Amino acid sequence: MSKRLSVIAVLAGHTLRDAIRNKVLYVLLMFALLMIGMGMLLATLSYVERDRILQDVALSSIRLFGAAIAIFIGVGLVHREIDRRTIFTILSKPVSRADFLVGKYLGLVATLWLMLAAMSIGFVGVSLVADAPIGPSTFAALGAVGLELAVLVAIATLFSCFATPFLAGCYSLGFYLIGHITRDLRAIGEASDSEMMRTATAWLHRILPDLESFNWTIEAVHQLPISTSEFAWAAVMGVAWCVAFLTVASLVFERRDLR
């Protein structure tokens, strides 16, 4: 068991090292930081609640670019290794495919969290400059973004196991968008007269990852208290979704022929 863990750790470290060399990542990061800065400019268009607009824009940029980076690096997880033919030597070692996937996945999560940390520093920086409020909710919201990105990269990992990066990107984006509206859909469904509509939207909300549970933008910006239990349950659910996606991913990957 400890051997498996150390193999996973080696792969994760190696993946992190590989991923942070990708220049596209830095372009996206630059854009994110630019957008965070742009928040300051946009805020001046309003004569009131400039803090709110600044932090809305900045936090939304972090979420948007975080998701973009997660999908971008996630969809290439398996494909890149096959494309570069580096996967052959790794899997011929005593490394199971599941361990390979988990190791790579954890490396990408580490990469994403590094990027998130960089963007968070930008966020806190502009907030301090603009004298906008920073509190426990801010950090909880940023932490929740980290969870969302972990789930998102797990989704991308699953698709990368059987689809080309482009298609895997499209599928992951679809999941991301739907994941953010299942709550709204459910609310719309509940207001509907049709029993079928109510059931369908409720089930849609249950079987797809509810990514809105990681969206604490409004709470963070308005410095509203975030319930510990709700945050904890969101975290538990996030980890469970990661496990679920990775399990399906390794089942799919296990069967795949690596030609």
Partner 1 sequence: MVVDETPIVSIENLVKDFRPGFGLRRKRVLDGISFEVRRGEVFGFIGPNGAGKTTTLKVLMGLIRPTSGGARILGHDISEVGFRRHVGFLPEGPYFYDFLTGRETLDFYSRLCAVPKPERGRRVEELLHKVGLEDAADLRLRAYSKGMLQRVGIAQTLVHDPEIVFLDEPMSGLDPVGRKEIRDLIAGLHSGGKTVFMNTHILSDVELICDRIAIIANGRIVHEADAAALHAATGGEVDISVIGLDVGIAEGLERDFDVQMEGRGERIEIRLASKHVDEVIGRIVGGGGHIRAVAQVGGGLEDLFIETIGANRQQAAR
Partner 2 sequence: MRQWGTGAALLLAACCVIGLSHGKLSPLPRTAADESYLPDPAMAKLTSFGFDALLADFYWLQAVQLLGGPEGARGKSHRIGALVDLVTRLNPRVDHPYRFAALWMTDDLAAVHKANVLIQRGIEAHPDDWRNHFHLAFNYFFFLGENQRAAEVLATAVVLPRAPVYLGRLAARLRSDRGGLSAASAFLATLLQGAEDPQAREAYEQALQQVETERLARVLDRARQTFRERHARDIVSIDELVTVSPSVLERLPPDPFGSGWDLNKEGVIVSSGIGYRYVPQIDATNRQRIRQTTEGRTSGG
- On the 0-12 / 13-18 / 19+ scale of CB atoms within 10 A, 209 is buried
Q: Does position 34 bind partner 2 by CB under 8 A?
A: no
Counting Cα atoms < 13 Å in the Cβ hemisphere of 196 gives 0
Question: Using an 8 Å Cβ cutoff, are 156 and 168 in contact?
Answer: yes
Q: From the list 53, 87, 147, 242, which residue makes contact with partner 2 (rule: CB under 8 A)?
A: 53
Q: How far is the CB of 55 from partner 2 (least distance, A)?
A: 9
Question: Which of 184/254 has CB closer to partner 2?
Answer: 184
Segment 96-125, which members bind partner 1 (CB under 8 A)?
96
Retrieve residue 183's tokens: 């709550």
Dihedral angle over CA of 52, 117, 231, 172, nearest 10:
100
Contacts (CB under 8 A) with partner 2, residues 163-182: 176-177, 180-181
Footprint of partner 2 on 221-250 (CB under 8 A): 221-222, 224
Burial of 239 (0-12, 13-18, 19+ CB in 10 A): middle
247 binds, among partner 2, partner 1, none (CB under 5 to 8 A by kind): none
Give the interface segment with partner 2, choosing from 24-32, 50-58, 77-85, 100-108 (CB under 8 A): 50-58
Please give the residues from 69 up to 88 whose contact with partner 1 meets the rule CB under 8 A. 84-86, 88
Residue number, 42 or 163, with CB nearest to partner 2 = 42
Instruction: Give the number of other CB atoms < 10 A from CB of residue 193.
Output: 6
The least CB distance from residue 153 to partner 1, in Å, is 20
**Any alpha helices (H) in the chain, and if so which ranges?**
2-19, 23-43, 50-74, 77-83, 87-91, 97-129, 136-160, 165-179, 182-191, 195-207, 217-221, 228-255
Listed ranges 45-53, 114-122, 123-131, 240-248: which one lies at the site for partner 2 (CB under 8 A): 45-53
- Which residues would be at the binding site for partner 2 (CB under 8 A)? 42, 45-49, 52-53, 56-57, 59-60, 63-64, 176-177, 180-181, 184-185, 188, 211-212, 215, 217-218, 221-222, 224
